[in-house]
Amino acid sequence: MSLQSTTTAKFKVQNLNGEDIMQIMGQGGNMVFNITANGGIQISPILITANGPINPSMSAPYVITKNGIAALTLAAPGVGADDGIQILIASATAFAHTLTTPGLLLTGTASINTASFQTNAGSSLTLMAYQGKWIVISTNGTISYT
């Protein structure tokens, strides 16, 4: 059984002889989420090309591609409703990006307002929502908190 994708398709299934078992498509037919025949999961990253907010109610990988410092904000996740949401923010550019979440970061220190990336590409920060706060799960590279 196979459902074919169009530019407005939101869901696509192929049989076991195909590459994909399930795809969820975004606008323009771009793949957003994929489960492969081998059981692998692929989630397309959301590219950050400008300053602005990150959606606090959607688990997603984000990649900063802005050619300059990205000033990002992240609001509080919903208590209970958003518990478990994970957000990965990775930098593909060598700038000192910032993520501001006033009083919402649980970093293991008293610094809970801002995460600042080092000026090297490859820095990343993974956060998990829990009870209206963002728990820092992991980092790559140097991320400083204030």
CA distance 108 to 64: 25
Q: How do strand 98-100 and strand 114-117 relate by DSSP bridges?
A: antiparallel
Give the list of residues 6+ apart from residue 129 with CB closer than 8 angstroms, or none: 56, 77, 78, 82, 83, 84, 85, 86, 87, 135
Per-residue pLDDT of 39-66, as tens digits, reads 677 778 999 999 999 999 999 999 999 9
Write the Ramachandran bin of 103: left for phi over 0, alpha for psi from -120 to 50, otherwise beta.
left
**What structural domains does the chain harbor?**
11-42 (no CATH), 46-145 (2.60.120)
Per-residue pLDDT of 102-114, as tens digits, reads 999 999 998 899 9
